[in-house]
Amino acid sequence: MAKTPPGKNPIVDQCLGCENIEGEFCRIWAVPAAKWRLGPCPSATHVRIDTKEPAEKVRVGQQKQKKK
């Protein structure tokens, strides 16, 4: 059984993919759920904050030409 560090809460679903995960816990924050309650975790390595996705991926299926 893994030891639970005192005062630490396990990571939450939103943490998955983050490089700060150590086992079932966060290397930085004791209570990961609290970091996500107010929005994206400020230390997350897998989410981009302040990056608004440009609306680009629109051109799909325009290049296919039917040959008969």
Phi, psi of 32 (to 5 degrees): -55, -40
Q: Rounded distance, CA 52 to CA 28, Å?
A: 26
The pairing of beta strand 25-26 with beta strand 21-22: antiparallel
Q: How far is the CB of 37 from ligand SF4 (least distance, A)?
A: 11
Q: How far is the CB of 6 from ligand SF4 (least distance, A)?
A: 17
Residues 18-57, interacting with ligand SF4 (CB under 6 A) = 18, 20-21, 26, 28-29, 32, 35, 41, 43-44
Residue whose C-alpha is closest to residue 49's, from 40, 60, 62: 40
Identify which of residues 30 and 68 has a Cβ nearer to ligand SF4 in the complex: 30
Q: How far is the CB of 11 from ligand SF4 (least distance, A)?
A: 5
